[in-house]
Amino acid sequence: MSYEEIILDHWRHPRNKGRLPHPDAAAVEANPLCGDVVRIELGIKDQTIQDIRFEGEGCAISLASASVLTELVQGKPVAEAAGITDEALLSALGGVVRTRLSCALLPLRALHKALGQHRSPDDGGPPPGEPPSAGRCTSSG
Ligand code: FES
């Protein structure tokens, strides 16, 4: 599929759009150029991303990119998801014109922010299976 087809498909039929009832990590990132926002929520178990959802107020590219990103991340170990690069996401999108890079990469910034706020049990977080508490993960929105 071409870049245009991928964007159109994911914009019209977004994957994993919505909210999780009890996310283990979440973050909102805003594009400083336009003020659009994307929120990413993660359900993490055994250091694997079991569930991911996104919501946003943004252009077609940013929301389609969020949808593509959720498919890239679902089921991946946290460490692998944290290692997803700009290039990997842009490649999954079929390439993005230079002027729209900040739109396309907005969801990835939100993902990295959410993962940065997630604390594993090894880092002193609560044991697996324990319900999320207010202090476990933070969200900026
Ligand atoms: Fe705002 Fe694309 S124009 S994220």
Q: What is the pLDDT of residues 64-81, one digit of tens each?
A: 999 999 999 999 999 999
Q: Is the C-beta atom of 16 inside 6 A of ligand 1?
A: no
Is 75 within the bounds of a domain? yes
Q: What is the 3-state secondary structure (H, E, C) of 45-105?
A: ECCEEEEEEEEEECCHHHHHHHHHHHHHHCCCEHHHHHCCCHHHHHHHCCCCCHHHHHHHH
CA 91 – ligand 1 centroid, Å: 19
CA 105 – ligand 1 centroid, Å: 10
Tally of structural domains, the chain: 1
Is 91 within the bounds of a domain? yes
CATH number for 101: 3.90.1010.10
Is 127 within the bounds of a domain? no
Atom of ligand 1 nearest to the CA of 102: 4
Query: Which tokens sit at 10?
Result: 């994911």
pTM: 0.84
Structural domain for 79, as ranges: 3-118
Q: Is the C-beta atom of 56 inside 6 A of ligand 1?
A: no
Confidence of residue 96 (pLDDT cuts 50, 70, 90): confident
